[in-house]
Amino acid sequence: YKFGYDDSLDVVGVHLVAGLWGTIGVGFLATETGLLYGGGVQQLVVQLVIALVAVIFTAIMTLIIAFIVKPLGWRVSKEDEDTGIDETEHAETAYELA
């Protein structure tokens, strides 16, 4: 919660960070054209452009989805959140702790 968003499933860490490293890392580690194998900087530049295009495309698609979903409401009420969504929305509990 360091940056002010709730990422309880660690989606940013798993998909954004790992996806960017997997895309950009090819520019360093490709055996024929990678920077670390003497292939020059061309492959790294290509991979950086691909990563940037993917981030921009994803941001645009996310905004489109957000504008569609926003009228439906982003959150449940504070009371439902405190009670538990499983109980208020599905009339059951996921875990019986007591």
Cα 43 from Cα 27, distance rounded (Å): 5
Determine contact, residues 79/89, Cβ cutoff 8 Å.
no
pLDDT number for residue 98? 65
Q: DSSP for 11-22, please give it.
A: HIIIIIIHHHHH
Model-level pTM?
Answer: 0.72
Structure tokens given for 88? 């208020």
- What is the residue whose two structure tokens read 């670390």? 36
Q: What is the pLDDT along the chain (98 residues), one digit of tens a residue?
A: 567 777 778 888 889 999 999 999 999 999 999 999 999 999 999 999 999 999 999 999 999 999 999 898 878 888 988 888 888 888 887 777 76
> Three-state DSSP class for 55?
helix
Structure tokens given for 32? 């024929």
pLDDT number for residue 57? 98
